[in-house]
Chains A and B, each alone.
Chain A
């Protein structure tokens, strides 16, 4: 089953908060292979995490 970008970005986000299941990881990887938008989204979500840790305090 092909993921939509909306579903793929939801999995990218959840992947930062829980361990994804095998099927989810495979489906996500397939989607990212062909989708630049979601690949950028993933990099940027990871970057946001880094930036938030740096926030004052």
Chain B
């Protein structure tokens, strides 16, 4: 019978990948995973009776990630930049290359390769943009909560979320839909 400790330890690579994707910093990711694993081992009783170890561990990790994002955001403020958008819209604000229809995207949600392409695109976002987008769309926070956590104005939050959506759309268009 495998011990609880070794089952928890076996999830480390998965958790590291999950944390790296959100924090964009290998050291910070290792730190939060370590914290989460220690908390998990100390709180084994909290797992009793739950079916899925990975889901439980990920839940703990999410809290550690949010704490880490809070800490990191105190250190770095990001100036808004317009460069990327200038490549997409002309000076009158019209699309240079308007988005085309994506063929049956919902079916792609079941495709591992597509989800990997999405992660790859997320990895290319600037760190702060990725964090805000992850908190909003993956962790499901409200925009006012995110602004408060990260010390941003609502307007700045909306700008970052907008840039994330535009950039991810472009990236998937090029790397997946136009293949």
Q: Are A17 and B143 touching (Cβ within 8 A)?
A: yes
What range describes how many residues of A lie at the interface? 20 to 34
For the complex, give the distance between the alpha carbons of A51 and B169 in Å. 12
CB distance from A5 to the nearest CB of B (A): 5
B179 at the A interface (CB under 8 A): no
- How many contacts between A and B, using CB within 8 angstroms? 97
Q: Are B99 and A37 touching (Cβ within 8 A)?
A: yes
B168 at the A interface (CB under 8 A): yes
B84 at the A interface (CB under 8 A): no
| Cβ 8 A contact of B102, one of A4, A10, A38, A40 | A40
Q: Are A36 and B98 touching (Cβ within 8 A)?
A: yes
Residues 37-57 of chain A: 1 if any B CB is under 8 Å from the residue's CB, otherwise 0? Answer: 110110111011111111111
Can you name the residue of chain A whose Cβ is closest to the Cβ of B157?
A: A17
Q: Are A40 and B105 touching (Cβ within 8 A)?
A: no
For the complex, give the distance between the alpha carbons of A4 and B96 in Å. 12
Q: A41-B99, A55-B119, A57-B58 are in contact. Are A48 and B136 (CB under 8 A)?
A: no
Residues of A within 8 A of B (CB): 4-7, 9-10, 13-14, 16-18, 35-38, 40-41, 43-45, 47-57
Residues of B within 8 A of A (CB): 14, 17-18, 55, 58, 62, 85, 89, 92-95, 98-102, 105-106, 108-109, 115, 118-119, 133-134, 136-138, 140, 143, 154, 157-158, 161-162, 165-166, 168-169
